[in-house]
Amino acid sequence: MASKSAAYLPRTVATWRSRAISVTTPSFTSSFDSSKRFLHQGPDTIDELIDRHIVKDKKKSNEEEDAIAAHRRITSSKREAMSLYRDIIRASRFFPWTDSRGVPWRDVLRANARKEFEEARYERDPEIITRLLIGGRDAVQAALDKLVEKHKNMADGDRDGEENNGRGGR
């Protein structure tokens, strides 16, 4: 392999030298338009450099821009919906109690959330989607706030009971 590349290198150098010589000869340059620049000749101004190397954006039609904006809204709504669904699943972990049928509230909440999300799955109206997302966020927050308040009340009740038992025993 070393001999193959060693033999190849002088041949390529000789080829490039002959091309470089032919480019600089007057007969070659006269056949081209004099306004064309060669690769080794740089731009005269910064504007020429920028024009040469920056890709210019094509003007997009209003329909294309509207379609892109709609796609971004849908993508954003999907992301928000997935985030809300994950938050509901996380919040349902705090509800281990069972209902009257013996089913844990955690499972009931998850099943109801799944059913509501499936019902709204093919909704395309941005206003309705936004309203559903806001309502879902508010419901999750309200449920967690009530849960925290109940836990605080139970903790305060336990403290009051311990204080009363402790005073009576002295």
Domain assignments of the chain as residue spans, ordered by start: 63-168
Phi-psi region of 102 (alpha: psi -120 to 50; beta: other; left: phi over 0): left
Q: What pTM did the predictor assign? A: 0.52
Check residue 170 and give its pLDDT: 45
Q: State both tokens at 91.
A: 């919040």
Do 96 and 104 contact (CB within 8 A), yes or no?
yes
Check residue 139 and give its pLDDT: 94
- Alpha helices (H) along the chain: 2-24, 26-31, 46-53, 62-92, 105-119, 126-168
pLDDT in tens, 66-93: 888 777 776 788 889 999 999 999 999 9
Closest-CA residue to 123 (of 60, 77, 61): 77
